[in-house]
Amino acid sequence: MKIQAPYLMFLGDVPDQLAAKTAHGIVDWRREWCVGQMRLPGCGADLSIPDMDIVEGREAGAKTLVVGVANAGGVLPDHWTAAIVEAIEAGMDVASGLHTRLGSVPEIAEAAERMGAKLHDVRHSTQRFATGKGTKRSGKRILTVGTDCSVGKKYTALALEKAMRDAGMDADFCPTGQTGIFIAGRGVAIDAVVADFISGAVEWLAPEADPNHWDVIEGQGSLFHPSFAGVSLGLLHGAQADAFVVCHEPTRTNMRGVQHKLPTIQEVIDLTIRCGSLTNPAIRPVGIAVNTHALGEAEARDYLAKVSADHGLPASDPVRFGVEEIVARLKESFAG
């Protein structure tokens, strides 16, 4: 069930930019899909796109009202309901990244029913999956993996999709988290799937395809994260990754939310190959993506050169320096 673009971005009255992180991600990658933003009094977030109300958004062509904000607890505040109902009555679908299901609010459910509008809760898949089969399927897949959560796996996958297409390759981004789903208009929030179906959901998300087609699969968590490694392993097995890129943030010491130290890039490469070879014995690393945000430019270049030499792989910061070298290595590695 695809989310229909263009989007009117609803920010409610969230207090700051961080709470609108998802909305910012959508605008960063799909500016052309975002006709405007709608903000309630007191809103502290700003996407730097035109402010509109529902009527103006609809006139500008918006087909879906996107609730791309996170507030405390992921609940839907009562005073946002009126705007959502108004959007539905104006003929829009609604897509939300909140924990609260849109349809659990009676006024919203009733309006959607009456208007025939689709309600997308991107954190909750309504798709039923089979358990993973592990049987090799045609087509190629590249997965972004990480030394931790929140080290740029989504950004790297999107940058890879763009650079691969620019290089003439047939590539599609496959999102596994909510921001990615808004950006692609489809996908599976893999951490919300029932545990038995993690790898099966990824087999569904990136199905068999033309032998030269690449699915670029957004990774989640880390094989070394004590909270989420099960998700990362099921994702790796379901992806049957031919290639992977390791994502890393060099100034972080502890893994996000826990007391564990970060693994080394080499440990991630080794364990990814070891576990990934279960469903694809030919799995190989093709690059390292580093978030060098905390480093000066010269320092960043030095760091990347060292990481590249240490591992014999191209290393880059996708935001600062692009991923063209990684894509070149990918093409070279899978030529012929």
Name residues contacting a copy of itself, limited to 270-309 (CB under 8 A). Answer: 271, 274-275, 278-279
Instruction: Decide whether 7 or 228 has the Cβ nearer to a copy of itself.
Output: 228
* Contacting range for a copy of itself; rule: CB under 8 A; set: 9-17, 90-98, 138-146, 257-265: 257-265
Between CA 88 and CA 203 the distance in angstroms is 34
Contact 19, 75 (CB under 8 A): no
Signed CA dihedral, 110, 115, 121, 127: sign only: positive
Which of 44, 103, 230, 322 binds a copy of itself (CB under 8 A)? It is 230
Asked if 229 is part of the footprint of a copy of itself (rule: CB under 8 A), the reply reads yes
Between CA 9 and CA 85 the distance in angstroms is 15
Contact 215, 222 (CB under 8 A): no
Asked if 237 is part of the footprint of a copy of itself (rule: CB under 8 A), the reply reads yes
Instruction: Decide whether 48 or 253 has the Cβ nearer to a copy of itself.
Output: 253
Cβ-in-10-Å burial (0-12, 13-18, 19+) of 75 comes to exposed
Between CA 243 and CA 185 the distance in angstroms is 24
Which of 260, 311, 320, 331 binds a copy of itself (CB under 8 A)? It is 260
Asked if 97 is part of the footprint of a copy of itself (rule: CB under 8 A), the reply reads no
Asked if 190 is part of the footprint of a copy of itself (rule: CB under 8 A), the reply reads yes
Which of 40, 49, 60, 192 binds a copy of itself (CB under 8 A)? It is 192
What is the gyration radius of the CA atoms in the chain, in angstroms? Answer: 20
Which of 68, 146, 200, 219 binds a copy of itself (CB under 8 A)? It is 200
Sheet holding 140-146, edge to edge: 170-174, 213-217, 140-146, 243-248, 284-290, 315-316
Between CA 214 and CA 78 the distance in angstroms is 43
Least separation in angstroms between residue 274's CB and a copy of itself is: 7
Instruction: Report how far apart the first and last C-alpha atoms of the chain are (Å, whole number).
Output: 36
Contact 288, 313 (CB under 8 A): yes
Contact 333, 286 (CB under 8 A): yes
* Contacting range for a copy of itself; rule: CB under 8 A; set: 86-94, 114-122, 179-187, 218-226: 218-226
Instruction: Decide whether 183 or 239 has the Cβ nearer to a copy of itself.
Output: 239
Asked if 134 is part of the footprint of a copy of itself (rule: CB under 8 A), the reply reads yes
Contact 35, 8 (CB under 8 A): yes
Least separation in angstroms between residue 10's CB and a copy of itself is: 25
Least separation in angstroms between residue 177's CB and a copy of itself is: 11
Contact 157, 257 (CB under 8 A): no
Which of these, 269, 279, 208, lies nearest to 237 by C-alpha position? 279
Which of these, 111, 108, 113, lies nearest to 89 by C-alpha position? 111
Asked if 154 is part of the footprint of a copy of itself (rule: CB under 8 A), the reply reads no
Instruction: Decide whether 52 or 233 has the Cβ nearer to a copy of itself.
Output: 233
Asked if 269 is part of the footprint of a copy of itself (rule: CB under 8 A), the reply reads no
Least separation in angstroms between residue 123's CB and a copy of itself is: 10
Which of 235, 262, 288, 304 binds a copy of itself (CB under 8 A)? It is 235
Instruction: Decide whether 168 or 281 has the Cβ nearer to a copy of itself.
Output: 281
* Contacting range for a copy of itself; rule: CB under 8 A; set: 60-68, 82-90, 225-233, 327-335: 225-233
Positions touching a copy of itself (CB under 8 A) are: 131-135, 190-196, 198-200, 223-224, 226-235, 237, 257-260, 271, 274-275, 278-279
